[in-house]
Amino acid sequence: MHLAIAALLIGQMVGREPQLAAGEGLVAMAYGSDINIYVATSKDQGKTFAAPVLVAAPKVLQLTRHRGPRIAVAGNALIVNAVADGDLMSWRSVDGGKTWSKGVRVTSVPTAAREGLHTLASDGRGNLFAAWLDLRKAGTQLYGAWSRDGGVTWRKDALLYESPDGAICTCCAPSAVADEKGGVDLMFRNAVGGSRDLWVMHSHDRETFGRPEKLGAGTWKISACPMDGGGIARDGAKTITAWRREEDIYVDEPGKPEQKLGAGKDVAIAAGKDRVCALWVNAGGLEVWNGGGKPEVISKVAAFPSVVALPGGGFLAAWEAGGSIEVKRLP
């Protein structure tokens, strides 16, 4: 079955590692270009975007292998997090992305987030959660912090997980998603017993996380970091994960067998209106899977895709293409 695509090309913005967020009446895209962090916004479900606005220009901005900025909608605010000069920083806009506040440091120890790999989740009502790979001690650990006031302030960061083998996977970005009640699912690539698999853990109280659970029945024995952390989404009451093991992409619900989608890497996933959309990169280009049927190629040149469910239905995808960013509406 051919996947019909509403291929509304927004145009090309010079930049890397786009990330998307959507709320009622607003779609926002954050990305990096050199040392600059930009946000472009759309008021028509991603059909057109306003000119990008500079959020910040740190001395050092991480922009390789999923290290770019993250963006979220928190009530009437837009929040951008990025690792700048070794610290996880947070910026806030309350006028739809036209102007941005001075950055607030989320990490309590200077340069602890210098690996540059992090995630940001929002319940859309002002509760935010950030997590990152932390290097304040020997061995990479998973740290996190909460904001309950829409990113105005962040609570003191805390250790969430440390591997019994001394370090979690050192170069794979974590992923998080929040539900409407403020609960959070957090996924990360662990390193235990020579395996580098994806694990997930849940917080119900915006304070602590339960014990992590390995995803998938198989395992990946590898002595190097894949640099590929996968993606996570909420489909109603269900948590849906997408990730790479060896050369293949899988989708999985915690506690259930994984489903192989095909060869690839750098998968992103979103869920909306009881539908799931996943995108990933392989030798053929950028593939999209809409929760059923056969994946379809939508671009021959692509890297580091992002996808978000639109409030009005359908999805919006963005990706790198030869140093620029391309955006397309998907049904």
> pLDDT (tens digit, 9 = 90+) per residue, 287-296?
999 988 899 9
Residue 221: HSE in the Cβ half-sphere, 13 Å Cα cutoff? 2
Distance CA 32, CA 56 (A): 10
pLDDT digits over 12-66, tens only?
Answer: 689 999 999 999 899 999 999 999 999 999 999 999 999 999 999 999 998 989 9
pLDDT digits over 61-113, tens only?
Answer: 989 899 999 999 999 999 999 999 999 999 999 999 999 999 999 999 999 99
User: Considering the chain, what is the average pLDDT of its residues?
Assistant: 93
Task: Please choose, from the candidates 23, 33, 15, the residue with its C-alpha nearest in 3D space to the C-alpha of residue 272.
Answer: 23
Q: Is 35 left (phi over 0), alpha (psi -120 to 50) or beta?
A: alpha
Task: Please choose, from the candidates 103, 96, 54, the residue with its C-alpha nearest in 3D space to the C-alpha of residue 78.
Answer: 96
Domains and CATH numbers, the chain: 13-330 (2.120.10.10)
Q: Tell me, what amino acid is at 59?
A: K
CA distances for 3 relative to 150, 172, 328, angstroms: 38, 31, 14
The percent of residues in the chain predicted with pLDDT above 70, rounded, is 96
Using a 10 angstrom Cβ sphere, with 0-12 exposed, 13-18 middle and 19 or more buried, the burial of residue 314 is: middle
120: Cβ contacts below 8 Å, ≥ 6 apart: 70, 71, 72, 79, 81, 128, 129, 130, 176
Q: Tell me, what amino acid is at 297?
A: V
Asked whether residue 10 carries a pLDDT value surpassing 70, the answer given is no
Q: What is the pLDDT of residue 273?
A: 81
> What letters, b where the CB count within 10 A reaches 16 and e where it falls short, cover 82-95?
bbbbbbbbbbbbbe
